[in-house]
Amino acid sequence: MTHFNNNTTADFTEPILVLGGTGKTGRRIVTGLQAKGLPVRIGSRSASPAFDWNNEKSWDACLAGTKAVYISYSPDLAIPGATDAIQALVDRAKQHGVQRLVLLSGRGEAEAQACERIVQKSGLDWTIVRASWFYQNFSEGAFVDMVSAGQITLPAGDTPEPFVDVDDIADVAIVALTEPGHAGEVYEVTGPRLMTFADIAVELSKVTEREITYIQAPHEAFVTEVANSGAPKDVVWILDYLFSTVLDGRNAYLSDGIQRALGRPPKDFAEYAREVADTGIWQPVPTA
């Protein structure tokens, strides 16, 4: 059995279910748990058993025999219908005897906070990890090609954001899943400084030793271009939502979630950028 409370360390014999186990946070959590010698079950459509948010019948095989679940909802908890999905998952988790839930949530998103309340009212041990923009959006996500091209063209304005490293998010989730003392905590996780997208461009210019600029794009034109690129409708929706709603200054303050959870400061963007630059991923794409 796996035993949880705030005073004793968990004894893991059952697998920890990591939903979104192949995503930015999920795959790091899987790797970290495995490095600790803990049994892990990856929750994704490509795993066996497969997990599909759009097919509730697939959830039972993934939840069976687990006591702790990391919840990363794709593409975002702000998407319409997310609350229904989280409620259904929590209900099934309780039926299967799950004892601990760790939810990755969105900072400054009212819809995400509605999902948080579902987890908080579940009657299970819970931890909320609330994040905003990831550093890794520039190396593993939608903006990596912009960096390689030397122009970050987005409708972001000059609003400062508390960008955060996904490695730090994963470390917080791992301790929340496996160690005592984190039940009932809401960890707002941020980097150590507020940065605008123009600030990001400056830092990236330093580590790549070439000019990378931030260019303000008209919002509607940006959304239209994303849609015309063939991006899924839910991705178009969330980018529209993030740039038009969340990026309004509501998150322009730092929080101590990483320090409280891990007892250390968060990684700075400059350190992340140096590490990624060394991999060569931001090298300019050769033109024919």
State the alpha helices, DSSP H only, in 150-255.
166-178, 197-208, 219-228, 233-241
Query: What's the structural domain count of the chain?
Result: 1
pTM above 0.85, yes or no: yes
- 284 against 164, higher pLDDT: 164
Q: Is residue 278 part of a domain?
A: no
Mean of the pLDDT values across residues 136-164? 95
Provide DSSP, 16-79: EEEETTTSHHHHHHHHHHHHTT--EEEESTTSSS---TT-GGGHHHHHTT-SEEEE--SS-TTS
pLDDT for the residue 235: 86
pLDDT for the residue 227: 93
Give percent of the chain with pLDDT exceeding 70. 95
Q: Is residue 21 part of a domain?
A: yes
Mark 3-28 as b/e (b = at least 16 C-beta within 10 Å): ebeeeeebebebbbbbbbbebbbbbb
Dist CA 30 CA 17 (whole Å): 9
Dist CA 87 CA 76 (whole Å): 15
pLDDT over 90 at 177, yes or no: yes
Crossing angle of the two packed helices 110-120 and 82-95, in degrees rounded to 10: 10
Q: Is residue 245 part of a domain?
A: no
pLDDT for the residue 75: 85
pLDDT for the residue 78: 92
pLDDT bracket for residue 9 (50, 70, 90) = very low
Q: In this predicted model, what pLDDT tens digit does every residue of 228-267 receive, in sequence order?
A: 999 889 889 999 999 999 999 999 999 999 999 999 999 9
SS3 258: helix
Rg (CA), the chain: 19
pLDDT over 80 at 5, yes or no: no
Question: Which CATH number characterizes residue 32's domain?
Answer: 3.40.50.720
pLDDT over 80 at 1, yes or no: no
Give percent of the chain with pLDDT exceeding 90. 89
Contacts of 102 (CB under 8 A, 6+ apart): 68, 69, 70, 71, 126, 127, 128, 129, 173, 176, 177
pLDDT bracket for residue 142 (50, 70, 90) = confident
Mean of the pLDDT values across residues 143-148? 95
Q: How far is CA 236 from CA 74, 82, 102, 129, 232, in A?
A: 13, 16, 27, 24, 6
pLDDT over 80 at 7, yes or no: no
Contact present, 16 and 177 (Cβ < 8 Å) = yes
Q: Is residue 228 part of a domain?
A: no
Q: In this predicted model, what pLDDT tens digit does every residue of 40-64 receive, in sequence order?
A: 999 999 999 999 999 999 999 999 9
pLDDT over 50 at 6, yes or no: no
**8-state DSSP, 162:** -
Q: Is residue 150 part of a domain?
A: no
pLDDT over 80 at 4, yes or no: no
Dist CA 30 CA 18 (whole Å): 7
Contact present, 166 and 228 (Cβ < 8 Å) = no
pLDDT for the residue 2: 46
Q: What is the mean pLDDT of the chain?
A: 94
Q: Is residue 170 part of a domain?
A: yes
Tokens of residue 42, six digits: 């990856």
Q: Is residue 240 part of a domain?
A: no
Contacts of 249 (CB under 8 A, 6+ apart): 159, 160
Q: Is residue 223 part of a domain?
A: no
- Domain of residue 104, residue span: 16-133+165-191+251-266
- 185 against 232, higher pLDDT: 185
Start-to-end C-alpha separation, the chain = 60
